[in-house]
């Protein structure tokens, strides 16, 4: 895990889910996945959007040409956990498609224009992942 991620995670946990800097005031969660190849637990901080029945997260990777590792981890094992505020919730991931993806993605770009910038930097379609409560 990068030092940058470690600092965000520590700040998030020390402040009940609140962080400063570029994420000040933004909805942030800590996504827990299992490494697709390693089988090791992984934690990634990321912005989310509340959607009907769960949360949407965005595999933007800052507009890089490849999807982030956490996205591949969820494809391999869709069971996940997220720390949201001071709560930890059990979730199941699925990739949004079609109209659902477009609606969620458009709302995210409107609320946080940096995501539109990421989209312009890459030729791939940025995946939108919906995290729903585990049964």
pTM: predicted TM-score of the whole model, two decimal places = 0.95
SS3 25: coil
Find the helix or strand (DSSP H, E) in which 35 lies: none
Q: What is the model's pLDDT at position 64?
A: 97
Distance in angstroms (rounded) separating the CA atoms of residues 69 and 33: 10
Is the CB of residue 31 less than 8 Å from the CB of residue 44? Answer: yes
Give the CA dihedral 134, 81, 102, 25, nearest 10 degrees.
Answer: 130
Q: Tell me the per-residue pLDDT of 51-110, one tens digit each, with 9 for 90 and over.
A: 999 999 999 999 999 999 999 999 999 999 999 999 999 999 999 999 999 999 999 999
Query: What domains lie within the chain, and their CATH numbers?
Result: 3-133 (2.30.110.10)
pLDDT score of 2 more than 80: no
Q: Tell me the per-residue pLDDT of 20-38, one tens digit each, with 9 for 90 and over.
A: 988 899 999 999 999 999 9
- The 8-class DSSP code of residue 126 comes to P
Beta bridge partners of 117: none
pLDDT score of 116 more than 90: yes
Distance in angstroms (rounded) separating the CA atoms of residues 135 and 121: 37
Distance in angstroms (rounded) separating the CA atoms of residues 25 and 132: 23
């Amino acid at each position: 895990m990068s030092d940058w991620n470690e600092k965000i995670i520590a700040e998030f946990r020390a402040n009940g889910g609140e962080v400063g800097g570029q994420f000040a005031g933004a909805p942030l969660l800590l996504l827990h996945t299992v490494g697709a190849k390693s089988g090791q637990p992984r934690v990634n901080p990321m912005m989310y959007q509340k959607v009907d029945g769960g949360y949407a997260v965005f595999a933007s990777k800052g507009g890089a040409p490849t999807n982030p590792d956490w996205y591949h981890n969820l494809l391999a094992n869709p069971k996940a956990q997220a720390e949201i505020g001071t709560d930890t919730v059990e979730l199941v991931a699925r990739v949004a498609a079609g109209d659902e993806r477009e609606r969620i993605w458009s709302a995210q770009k409107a609320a946080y224009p940096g995501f539109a910038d990421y989209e312009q930097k890459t030729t791939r379609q940025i995946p939108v992942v919906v995290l729903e409560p585990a049964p």
